Structure 1
């Protein structure tokens, strides 16, 4: 078993599917040995490193465990604890973070993998529900990315739609540096409010939606939501981010609701009637996530999202289990 520092270094240097599979098995062994909750769960399933010899046999921990248990593969105090929005009935997930540097490497490298150099962007964020409650991993990521843009116009807009509208009008004018692209990262319901109340025509703008309606508005079919946003902002497509409190990596969609993962993240689809049976590509089922950046908690998460995967590793979100606590992104039923 390689030293932990060597495992961590390999996460963001994966070059092939074989490399991913080999590293996933090593991280499974590490977490089995160091995460008491995960070890207990895998043992009840009759699984251990001695009989888990390929990636398809690794057990996935139900995401609800982050609400009821302390999921960690380390014994020092957590550097920070991220929390989910939760509900009064369901409670909040808590993600103990051993090393923020790993999270920062994940979202910085993930952004660069899909969008290029962060210095080429201005990032505006419309995330009222996240800013209001605190403890959000999404807000932490957005703040750090804004800092890396090195642009004074990057920033958060709590619920000041008028101010954001003025900023967008300013940035679409000749005042914006020609080499700077603009991303508006927003929770779905807030972006919808903007689209319905302002006449914004900014074809070059990248709209990146996340987080769903958060109970603020009625859920919409994804295609309908994107159609309204495209018309309201004058853009041709809507980008999306798929992430959640319990993960340290994000998948991105550049349109049409098809997401791609960074090299250290994979999606597996399970049978909704048999959570231990994985389905082939093209079939709909529950989404399991392998997030190797989650090395210090649990890298193998059984989510409450529904979707399907494609042969190239991309995937779609089709909805959620009825009893799930809505988090993550694009969880509108289609």
Structure 2
């Protein structure tokens, strides 16, 4: 299969056609996904529409090697977790696909990476190995080519000074930060930024009390002097990201889409505007699984944009007992 076709999608018909092709490929080549589909009575012969494709519960990435046959992983990304807790492992067969996906996604929403100075405040991710977010941000920092781009951990004074210098220079700057670290800054400092994007990646990582996104963004907007706070939505098990430029409304690149499943029946879809479990199609995940049932709650709107409203427990197994596969 020509991988470039994934990143050349321009229409919904192109997306649907390629989605069905990739489903057939993964049914034939991914043993874990094929077995899951078979238990649901789904095969490449009776799935004729995108709406019929089964979504693999994200929990499978904790217990199974979700990887196409005859593929050797170039890298294994791991989710964060407490000691003794099973973590998700994403076996990535071809790193260039991931690199192309996040770069083209950034360009799709923000333009040329070389126009930006990229600053990162991701302490919890830096403290462990195998973070797909760190891999992406490190590469974006490198590709920006700006000498002031880089990671900041405990040197928050230097970070604040750099932000003010960059903002006053009227150049484009973006600060990508985990939520609790951005809040730490907001409690002790006040800025009035005009040319800087503050982007939160979510997550308190057990460091602070969880906040709803509206409350988090309100605090950050007041502290940084901004009209809007941006957000990134991605996860270990995916190779693509969605971005929100305001109000927590996310949009996907053309090779990614989000649908909602009913909370009480994970095999049934939910209508636009209704709250349910988030299902994701990520066509860049071709050698893993492109059809993921997440543990996130959200709603999707008719234009394809979506909100993330929180998480719920056992979303992937409610209504069916397939985790024993």
> TM over 0.5: same fold?
yes
1:314 is matched with which residue?
A: 305
Which stretches in structure 2 are left out of the alignment for 5+ residues?
A: 317-325
* Aligned residue among 232, 238, 245 for 2:229: 238
Deviation digits for residues 23-49 of structure 1 (CA, Å, limit 9, x no counterpart)? 011000111111000001100111000
Contact 1:81 1:96 in 2 (8 A): yes
Aligned runs of 1:286-305 on 2, under 5 Å? Answer: 286-305=277-296
Which stretches in structure 1 are left out of the alignment for 5+ residues?
A: 326-334
2:218 is matched with which residue?
A: 227
Indicate yes or no: 2:161 matched with 1:166: yes
Q: Distance in 2 between matches of 1:89 and 1:304?
A: 20
Deviation digits for residues 136-181 of structure 1 (CA, Å, limit 9, x no counterpart)? 10011001111111110000012321221121122223xx3x4x30
TM-score normalised by length of structure 2: 0.95
| Secondary structure at 1:30 match in 2 | helix
Deviation digits for residues 74-93 of structure 1 (CA, Å, limit 9, x no counterpart)? 42321000000023354110
Q: Distance in 1 between matches of 2:212 and 2:136?
A: 27
Indicate yes or no: 2:17 matched with 1:26: no
* Aligned residue among 30, 50, 66 for 1:55: 50
CA shift in 2, pair 1:137/1:321, >3 Å: same
Q: CA RMSD in A?
A: 1.3
Q: Distance in 2 between matches of 1:33 and 1:91?
A: 28
| Secondary structure at 2:260 match in 1 | strand
Per the TM alignment, residue 323 of structure 1 is displaced from its structure 2 partner at its CA by 5.4
Indicate yes or no: 2:262 matched with 1:267: no
2:83 is matched with which residue?
A: 88
Paired residues in the alignment total 316
2:113 is matched with which residue?
A: 118
Q: Distance in 2 between matches of 1:39 and 1:90?
A: 27
